[in-house]
Structure 1
Amino acid sequence: MVVYMWNNRGQHRSVIASIRAKIQERAASVSSFNLVYVKRDANWPAHLCAQYASRYRVDCTWGPRPPLF
């Protein structure tokens, strides 16, 4: 639902409009931003990557393989 609302943001008014606006503002400051649907069981690696980035607060780009946690 969130991906659909993002892709069709001109057509929807919702309670998350302010959050969506903040995401859009921050996304404008990076060279590439994509929002895609991922099945729940595939979200665990993304969760680990986000925890790592949050904990160590480092800017980095990972190649074809993410680091082992």
Structure 2
Amino acid sequence: METDCLEMVQLWHSRRFSRSIVAPLLLEIDELALCFLSFDIQHVIRSANMPAHLCVKHASTLGVTDCWMDSSPSFLMTSVMADRVGAIVVE
């Protein structure tokens, strides 16, 4: 898993000894990760993770839950398309 939140990566690596409020969630993720052959959380720069950053930014402005079942959110589509083009160029 990749995140642009360096603090989350640091918490992940110290999850067994952490007294952070998110420690129980990290330990639960750790248990679920046993279903995979390999699992790690890595830091990436924000520009390499723009679609995820836009989702978090959008969510932080909402007062209610927002759900997209049959449509793609317009604020995200440009970034996803640019991310896709960048992935094709790199391959």
Stretches of structure 2 lacking an aligned partner (at least 5 in a row): 1-6, 53-68, 70-86
Give the counterpart of 1:26 among 32, 53, 60.
32
Q: Which has the larger radius of gyration?
A: 2
Deviations along 1:22-69, one digit per CA (max 9) or x if unpaired, are: 211111110011111111110136x4xxxxxxx8xxxxxxxxxx67xx
For 1:29, the aligned partner's letter is C
Runs of 4+ in 1 over 2 A off after TM superposition: none
**Root-mean-square deviation (Å):** 2.2
Give the counterpart of 1:7 among 5, 13, 16.
13
For 1:25, the aligned partner's letter is E
Stretches of structure 1 lacking an aligned partner (at least 5 in a row): 48-54, 56-65
SS of 2:43 mapped into structure 1: coil
Rounded Cα–Cα distance in structure 2 between residues aligned with 1:20 and 1:37: 16
For normalisation by structure 1, the TM-score amounts to 0.57
Q: Which residue of 1 aligns with 2:81?
A: none
State the percentage of identical aligned residues: 33
For 1:16, the aligned partner's letter is V
For normalisation by structure 2, the TM-score amounts to 0.45
